[in-house]
Amino acid sequence: MWIASLADYNNGRLHGAWVDATRDPEDLEQAAWRILAGSPEPDAEEWVIHDYDGFGRLQLGEYESFEDLSAVANGIAEHGPAFVAWSEIVWDGGGPLDHDVLTEFPDYYMGHHDSPEAWAEAMCNDLGYTLEAGAQLPEAMQPYVRLDYQAFAEDMRLSGEVSFTESPEGGVWVFRSL
């Protein structure tokens, strides 16, 4: 992320540095103070974050806390792009971030699938759900009896059991709801 001196920015100068957001919050704050200390502006006392890299499509503001940014950046580093989607679910970027919920990503993440329907089919297969009723039909009719995975996935979403987030690379990330 690019941490800048607000006084310099307000006076038409770009003074700042790229800082690795996965560092400890205390290290991030110290880096911000070093940036301000090196400012040519005599009254440089406020930093601002003007740019982000590696946070995917997560919408972040100029004054996010270093604690929140470090937690999210470390989660992305550990879990990859699906963690960006998880962060969007648990944090709107404007309110406090629940760090406990953020770290529960592995408990809520149900994987990446080609579509909600593909997730529903995989889940039913994993749970051993079968169509016993199809066995009572004549053999010629059995191929026409199927589970409606699309309807099942949509019902799970509407009931609040799961959420689906589109992946920029295609498919969806699936999360058990909070």
Confidence of residue 146 (pLDDT cuts 50, 70, 90): confident
Task: Kindly report, residue by residue over 75-84, the tens digit of the pLDDT.
Answer: 999 999 999 9
> Average pLDDT for residues 141-157, to the nearest whole number?
90
> Residue 66 has what pLDDT?
96
Q: How does DSSP assign the chain, residue by residue?
A: -EEEEHHHHHTT---EEE--TTS-HHHHHHHHHHHHHT-SSTT---EEEEE-SS-TT----TT--HHHHHHHHHHHHHH-THHHHHHHHH--SSS---HHHHTTHHHHEEEEESSHHHHHHHHHHHHT---GGGGGS-TTTGGG----HHHHHHHHHHTTSEEEEE-TTSSEEEEE--
> Average pLDDT for residues 62-75, to the nearest whole number?
94
Average pLDDT, the chain: 92
Residue ranges of the domains in the chain? 2-103, 110-176
> Residue 28 has what pLDDT?
98
Percent of the chain residues topping a pLDDT of 70: 96
> Average pLDDT for residues 155-173, to the nearest whole number?
96
Whole-prediction pTM value? 0.84
Of the listed ranges 19-28, 48-57, 87-96, 109-118, the least confidently predicted one is 87-96
